[in-house]
Amino acid sequence: MTTIPEDARTHIDDLASFVEASPSSYHAADESRRRLEQAGFAPLAEGDAWDLAPGGRYVVVREGSVIAFALPASVSATTPFQIVGAHTDSPSFKLKPKPTRTGAGGWWQLGWEIYGGPLVNSWLDRELCLAGRVVTISGDEHLVRTGPIARIPQLAIHLDRQVGDGLKLDKQTHTTPVWGLGEAESADIVGRLADLAGVPSHDIAGIDIVAADTQPPRSFGADDALFASGRLDNLLSTHAGLTAIADAAPTEAIAMFAAFDHEEVGSASRSGAAGPFHEDVLTRILAAFGGGADERARSFAHSLHVSSDVGHAVHPNYSERHDPENRPVAGGGPILKINANQRYATDAHGAAAWNAACRRAGVPAQEFVSNNAMPCGSTIGPISATRLGIRTVDVGVPILSMHSARELTAVVDPWYLTRAMSALLER
């Protein structure tokens, strides 16, 4: 029998609520802001002057990214940062500028691009919603989300007798979803989105809309020890950092939570980890207390950034794909990601700092290193380390079905990760 602590179950229920509130990166950033303001964080606007006070707690949003920070009472121009980082976006499909089309048989269909690297087959035969933002001619932004509205239908086995030998999908033609039937003149998805935003269709000047699975997250399995959900990559880490910063009461360092958009497509955007958002906020904080270039360098030299993203749990059906010794197991606690070629930014000092935080939190910890024949992915860690020069360590939680429309983790691991992050931000 698996015994799950009640706090872990409470945490996983809150993670489920966060995922359901966050079908797009813009919703994730907005939900993070809402929760932080509720916890007493004052909102900041980038276009305003910042009047920061010692002991203050603040949050700022740039599009689909969010940064929050808590200042110690003794903050100065050289105070270091303790940062937990994540990303708000997930592999999906994104509507093209002219998304409405009609197909054979009177079907209404949608034109979209593949965003990131989803396991496309996992998105077949699921009821999907559309979510994101629409922008009017005047520049006003509206967050929108539909209910279940689209589905990518798989071809019946009777029409493809070779499908058992391996499913092959053309990304342009075979991933086009259906969303209605009838006269072509009535097929207007932008009009539907405008209705949700409460604005005329002709007033919509731009859209950033992605698809999301509508099946709710849930615990399942023996003793409800497993948890399945869409977008665990990487709303799981976003939620962990958000929860940790909400309770942070730092005494020596500036506690910070930073979650960025566009990690799944390389982070190279104004709101991505490779963009200027993070550096802008760090610089403005120190400048508020008289810091210049010299003070910033001194602060950064003693700072730490923990980049958190999900990693691969040992797959029971493909165990040969994993390293024979460094094999993260579900339920075994957060993972420390290591790669000799710096696809992860972890070094020995960073590993020591992270392991110390896990010990203080009383949570188990484990390492992840890829099988040499299986190239690993990467994270915001190396990008942020390169841009800022702050020591960075890559961590996460082991999951199965990464980049699937529905991923899988152990109920206890997100709770373990959050506790370790909280211990790190206590400095």
* 3 state DSSP class of 318: coil
Single-letter code of the amino acid located at 54: P
- Burial annotation 316-351 (CB, 10 A radius, 16+ → b, else e): eeeeeebbeebbbebbbbbbbbbbeeebbbbeeebb
The count of residues in the chain is 427
CA distance 281 to 68: 10
Token pair, residue 173, equals 């033609």
Single-letter code of the amino acid located at 354: W
Kindly tell me the sign of the dihedral angle through the C-alpha atoms of 35, 37, 41, 43: positive
Q: For the chain, what is the radius of gyration of the CA atoms?
A: 22
Question: Global pTM?
Answer: 0.96
Give the number of other CB atoms < 10 A from CB of residue 265: 15
| Cβ partners under 8 Å of residue 349, min gap 6 | 391
pLDDT tens string, the chain, 427 residues long: the values are: 679 999 999 999 999 999 999 999 999 999 999 999 999 999 999 999 999 999 999 999 999 999 999 999 999 999 999 999 999 999 999 999 999 988 888 999 999 999 999 999 999 999 999 999 999 999 999 999 999 999 999 988 888 878 777 888 999 999 999 999 988 888 999 999 999 999 999 999 999 999 999 999 999 999 999 999 999 999 999 999 999 999 999 999 999 999 999 999 999 999 999 999 999 999 999 999 999 999 999 999 999 999 999 999 999 999 999 998 888 999 999 999 999 999 999 999 999 999 999 999 999 999 999 999 988 889 999 999 999 999 999 999 999 999 999 999 999 999 999 999 999 999 8
**Cross-strand partners of 193:** none
CA distance 94 to 85: 24
* 3 state DSSP class of 79: coil
First vs last C-alpha separation in the chain: 37
Q: What region, left, alpha or beta, does residue 396 occupy, with left being phi > 0 and alpha being psi -120 to 50 degrees?
A: left
Give the number of other CB atoms < 10 A from CB of residue 115: 17
